[in-house]
Structure 1
Amino acid sequence: MVGLKVFGQPASTDVARVLTCLFEKNLDFQLVRTDTFKGEHKVPEFLRLQDPSGQVTFKDGKQTYVDSREICRLICSKYGDMGNKELFGTGALERASIEQWLQAEAMNFDPLSSELVFHLAFAKPLGIMPDQAKIERNAKKLSVVLDVYERRLAENDYLAGDEFTLADLSHLPNSHYLITKTERGHELFASRKNVQRWWRAISTRSSWKQVVEMQNEYHSLE
Structure 2
Amino acid sequence: MVPVKVYGLPMNGSVARVLACLEEVDAEYEVVVVDLHTGEHKRLPHLARNKFDSVMLPIVFQGLVVPVYMGGTSGLKVIEENLEKLKEIMEVYEERLSKLKYLAGNFLSLADISHFPMVHLLQETPYGSVLDAYPHVKAWMAAVMDRPAVKKVMVLMKTFG
Same fold (TM over 0.5): yes
Q: Are residues 137 and 124 of structure 1, via their aligned partners in 2, closer, same or farther at CA, if it must alter by over 3 Å?
A: same
Identical aligned residues as a percent: 27
Q: Larger radius of gyration, structure 1 or 2?
A: 1
What is the root-mean-square deviation in Å for CA atoms of aligned residues? 2.7
**Equivalent residue, structure 1, for 2:130:** 188
SS of aligned partner of 2:50: helix
Deviations 1:109-163 (A, max 9, x none): 0011010001111112303321111111000000000011000000000011100
> Which blocks of at least 5 consecutive residues in structure 2 are unaligned?
1-10, 31-45
- Mapped partners of 1:168, 1:160: distance in 2: 8
- Mapped partners of 1:215, 1:71: distance in 2: 22
**Equivalent residue, structure 1, for 2:35:** none
Q: Which structure is richer in relative contact order (CA contacts within 8 A, separation 6 or more)?
A: 1
- Mapped partners of 1:135, 1:149: distance in 2: 20
SS of aligned partner of 1:183: coil
> Which blocks of at least 5 consecutive residues in structure 1 are unaligned?
1-64, 96-102
Could you tell me which of 14, 20, 23 is aligned with 1:75? 20
1:125-204 to 2 correspondences below 5 Å = 125=68, 126-179=70-123, 181-184=124-127, 186-204=128-146
- Mapped partners of 1:119, 1:106: distance in 2: 23
- Mapped partners of 1:130, 1:169: distance in 2: 28
Instruction: Please say if 1:123 is aligned against 2:57.
Output: no
8 Å contact kept, 1:105–1:171? no
Could you tell me which of 144, 150, 154 is aligned with 1:208? 150
Q: Which runs of 4+ in 1 moved over 3 A?
A: 89-92, 103-106, 216-219
- Mapped partners of 2:47, 2:133: distance in 1: 21
Instruction: Please say if 1:114 is aligned against 2:34.
Output: no
**TM-score, structure 2 length as denominator?**
0.74
